[in-house]
Amino acid sequence: MGSMRDMVSTELNGYGPAGGQRTRHRCVTRPWTPDGAGLLGMLPTPTGSVAFITDGAGLVGWGEFAAISVTGADAAAQIARWYAERRSALDVVDHVGVRGSGAVCFVSLGFAPNDASVAVIPEVVLGRQDGATFVTQIGDAPPTDRAAVTAPGQVAYADAEMSTTGFVMAVESAVDRIRSGEAAKVVLAHGLTAMTQFAVDERFLLVRLAERYPTCTTFAVGGLIGASPEMLIRRHGTRITSRVLAGTAWPERESDRVDGASGSAAPSTAAGAVPGATPGTAASTADAHPPGMHRVAVDLLASAKDLAEHAFAVRSVADVLGPLASALAVPAHPGALELANLTHLATDISGELTGADPVPSALDLAARLHPTAAVGGTPRAVAQAMIAELEPAPRGRYAAPVGWVDARGDGEFAIALRCAQVSGSTVRLMAGCGIVADSDPEAEAREAQIKMVPVRDALEG
């Protein structure tokens, strides 16, 4: 077959305004031999791409066979029904048969019911999954040249709806209310607006984020671009895994590093204590600190405040997955995930789905888990009400599930963190922090600013 740089479909989705089917479309997945460029390097246009890449593997796509935007508490269920209807108009020939082959739906859910959720079924998808590289094409693909990637030029920043001072005041209010017993934890966020000299080429951001944070998941859906360290749910058949992050610290000086650490130490499998969970078998950094571990990680693993915050998040995930899975593995202690500019307490949870017919899809699981205590708080309903009261603007799709699902129900969803919504030359960044009774408002504000650094650095080249 020809180079994928020459394949972009211009065919419309085949449905009338009322959703009535007009024509059928052929959907073919076949092996593909890369021509030297990475998956992100194959994206042909500055905007409109979808991506979900970790360590160079995953899926990217372009062109819209079909797209939808919905609101409501049942947004994920609406998208699932819509996706099934669109698949019914396809004649699928899959010569590969791995996760992500066939017609794939990319999804970015809204944080709250009134926030829009979007889904896209691309016309072209390139994949590198489970040892296979492949291409899926819906309809015909006329030749199209790949546009050169352009830089956004100069960047200026301004407060969004809430200034840093306003955020500190919101955190102070949350701490007071937590200490009074209203909640145990609440996650608060605020934004920053970047204005660029030229319209932003989404590929410019994607490539730089993937290069600088290769172990994070670089994603793009509906103009939401980011590199998330937190995999909310991965489903492969009946096997499920989830990485929970909560509790954060960062180096203030070079002497915070011990034993010559490089800042890129791999995380151990980890978790907060969850009553009734099956302990995992991986070694925990609570038992022995690996050579070269950053002093920040050592201190974070001993922080009562961060351990408590982490345990809330772990429990919120385990409580949802426990009734759906057998032998849910939740190690007894957290480990440290050291990224380029931050260190997080990390938990890897795993299990086997059992007992349900049909087995919940990755999208269904993501919707059930959202919002975890890592991005919302606990108790869930109380924390969500506090967020709506203390944050002056809706979150949109920030801190909500983003990822993909295939016709088998397999898929991967990260939490949309370290991200920004791109619209022409305007980029809206958001970041948040988990607030508990012992939180320091000034330190939380600093943490939020540091969490915006990945997108800021990518914008500035």
Name the nearest CA neighbour of 73 among 114, 107, 108. 114
Distance CA 397, CA 417 (A): 10
What pLDDT does 167 receive?
A: 97
For residues 165-169, give the mean pLDDT. Answer: 96
| Residue 5 vs residue 152, higher pLDDT | 152
Name which CATH class applies to 155-459: alpha beta
Output the CA torsion 292→298→347→435 (10° steps).
-140
| Bridge pairing between strands 90-94 and 25-31 | parallel
pLDDT band at 258 (very low <50, low <70, confident <90, very high): very low
**pLDDT given at position 288:** 47
Q: What is the pLDDT of residues 367-415, one digit of tens each?
A: 999 999 999 999 999 999 999 999 999 999 999 999 999 999 999 999 9
Residues annotated as part of the active site: 185, 230
Mean pLDDT of the chain: 87
- pLDDT tens-digit readout, 90-103: 999 999 999 999 99
Q: The tokens of 16 are what?
A: 């009338």
- The pLDDT > 70 percentage for the chain reads 85
Question: 346: which 2 tokens?
Answer: 């990390």
CA distance 25 to 9: 12
The whole-number average pLDDT for the span 194-206 is 98
pLDDT band at 142 (very low <50, low <70, confident <90, very high): low
pLDDT digits (tens, 9 = 90+) for 204-243: 999 999 999 999 999 999 999 999 999 999 999 999 999 9
**In sequence order, what are the residues at sequence separation of 6 or more whose Cβ sits closer than 8 angstroms to the Cβ of residue 23?**
14, 89
- Comma-separated ranges of CATH 3.60.120.10 domains in the chain: 155-459
The token duo for 343 is 């260190």
Q: How far apart are CA 417 and CA 105, in angstroms?
A: 20
Per-residue burial over 23-49, b if 16 or more Cβ lie within 10 Å, else e, is eebebbbeebeeeeebbbbbbbebbbb
